[in-house]
Amino acid sequence: MMNLAELAEYVDEAARTATEIPQISDKTPLTVEDAYAVQALSMQRRYARGEKRIGIKMGLTSRAKMVQVGVSDVIWGRLTDAMREDEGGVVSMAKYVHPRVEPEIAFLMKKPLSGNVSALEAMAAVEAVAPALEIIDSRYKAFKFDVGDVIADNSSSSGFVLGTWHSPEIDLSNLGMVLSINGRPQEIGSSAAILGNPVRSLVAAARMVASAGEELKAGDIVLAGGATAAIPMAAGQSVLLEVETLGMIGFNIGE
């Protein structure tokens, strides 16, 4: 059995080289605590290569996904500047193993936030909100994993695209969202699918970073979690997300 540092190297190399790997849980399932330790160590390797942490992403933010994976809480991962893709640009499939895209809501922080906070306190720390697309890419074979596997693999976070920032005064509780591929709607949903209200995801984010001895800093981005099922990506596709009130964002997929 590999130790935590070796597991961190294992998942980091898989992400860095876009290489598929067997699940860690095939040999020894990780506790949630150990999985987060592996994630933190793997991210330290990225920081050492020059990447900068610019925020966090929330995962398993729908009750259905929690039940499916057998957990009672959301999970989180870290975002770096290297993960950001250009809105309207071309995303290369070569960077990923089996990427999927999902529609999200993003928060931009204007002041630090951590610990147990109310929805009102959380929103008071927000500078702006925007439509977002997250590219999730589990490096594990066949996109199969348990919760320890996925947390260790930075909660599948691999890339993201941000739209135009808007006033945080906008009511985010039930915004219609349509995710289209090549002009055809594939997933239709609502921001209410994100824990009932994306603000609850931000509240959870503040609590979870505090438990890791971190905080959300001014300028940090928080991705609130997928509002619909994630769609497998393929070269040649054009991805477009329309969010009620917040507008449209998209990207094209290259080889």
Q: Do strands 126-136 and 100-109 pair parallel, antiparallel, or not at all (unpaired)?
A: antiparallel
- CA–CA gap between residue 249 and residue 106 (Å, rounded): 12
The predicted pLDDT at position 84 comes to 97
pLDDT of residue 188: 96
Total-model pTM: 0.95
- 147-183: b (≥16 Cβ within 10 Å) or e: bbbbbbbbbbbbbbbbbeebebeeebeebebbbbbee
pLDDT given for residue 64 in this prediction: 66
Q: Give the pairing type, strands 176-181 and 90-92.
A: unpaired
Element (H, E) at 249: strand 247-254
Q: Among residues 76, 101, 116, which one has the least CA distance to residue 234? A: 101
DSSP state of 62: S
Instruction: Report the pLDDT value the prediction gives residue 69, as an integer from 0 to 100.
Output: 67
**Mean pLDDT, contiguous 10-residue spans, the chain (255 residues):** 93 95 91 96 97 96 72 90 97 95 97 98 98 94 84 95 98 97 97 96 97 96 94 97 98 97
Q: What pLDDT score was predicted for residue 83?
A: 97
C-beta atoms surrounding 81 within 10 Å: 11
Q: Which pLDDT score is estimated for 68?
A: 65
Helices (H), the chain: 4-17, 32-48, 63-69, 119-124, 147-152, 198-211
